[in-house]
Structures are given as structure tokens and as C-alpha cells.
């Protein structure tokens, strides 16, 4: 999602349940080096592929987070709110939230139609 415009920049889908980072690697989506990427902890390993990545720190049983880490995680999470809201909007269509029981051939088309509906809602809000 583009932070300034609120538009969906890219969509990628996988067959069945896939881990976020696994889906990303197979989607062939790449970022320019100056693009800052905000991701959640499901994308562990993206920092090795793209240096300009912001990801919250994870705590472990042996190493709790410091106050500075918690503060930084809160800042990153606050920036991710519009993206998480967009994911919630897409899940309201139930195509991603539940098992898809129609032809797989048309799944990508329907996902892109949902993205187009979101784009139209953005345009109607500007008028």
C-alpha cells in the first residue's frame, strides 16, 4: 500500500496457507533501495534482502524487550495502522478470510476487483 495515496500497489496470492515471507519471495515483488518498507514480524529475513526495512523487535523468554525497543515497536506499529486497516477492509469481502470454494482460476481476478473497488472508494472520497 502506498502510504501517501492509500492505494494498493501490489497484490500477491498463493495456493493454500502460506507464510507471509514465503509468499513474498515467490511473488517476485522487489523494492527500490530507497523505498522504506514497514512490515510485521511475519517477514523475518526481509532485512537481509532489503536493507531499508522497518520491522518490530521480537522478545524471547531469555531476552525481554528494553524500553527503547518497546518505544520503537510502538512507533512502527502506529505507522502500519493504515495498512492493517486496509487488510481488514479486504477481509470484509470474505474472499481471504475464509476458505475459497470457487474456481481457483478466477481468484486473482476477484482479488484485483476488490483492489479496484478500494481505489474507487478512495476517488469518491476526494470529490
Residue 34 maps to a domain: yes
In a domain, 72, yes or no: yes
Residue 44 has pLDDT above 70, yes or no: yes
Tally of domains in the chain? 1
Of 13, 35, 8, nearest in space to 24 by CA:
13
Q: Using one digit for the tens of pLDDT, what is the confidence trace for 57-99?
A: 888 888 899 999 999 999 988 888 887 887 777 777 766 666 6
Q: Please indicate, yes or no, if residue 9 is contained in any of the structural domains.
A: no
Which residues, listed in sequence order, are joined to residue 53 by a DSSP beta bridge? Answer: 37
Q: Which helix (H) or strand (E) holds 79?
A: helix 67-91
CB 56 within 8 A of CB 41: yes
Amino acid at each position: 500500500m502506498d502510504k501517501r495515496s492509500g492505494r494498493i500497489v501490489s497484490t500477491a496470492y498463493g495456493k493454500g496457507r502460506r507464510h507471509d515471507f514465503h509468499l513474498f519471495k515467490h511473488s517476485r515483488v522487489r523494492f527500490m533501495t530507497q523505498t522504506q518498507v514497514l512490515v510485521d514480524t511475519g517477514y523475518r529475513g526481509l532485512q537481509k534482502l532489503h536493507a531499508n526495512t522497518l520491522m518490530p523487535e521480537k522478545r524471547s523468554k531469555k531476552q525481554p524487550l528494553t524500553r527503547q525497543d518497546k518505544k520503537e515497536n510502538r512507533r512502527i506499529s502506529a505507522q502500519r495502522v493504515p495498512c492493517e486497516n486496509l487488510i481488514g477492509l479486504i477481509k470484509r469481502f470474505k474472499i481471504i478470510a475464509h476458505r475459497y470454494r470457487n474456481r481457483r482460476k478466477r481468484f486473482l481476478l476477484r482479488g484485483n476487483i476488490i483492489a479496484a473497488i478500494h481505489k474507487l472508494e478512495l476517488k469518491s472520497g476526494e470529490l
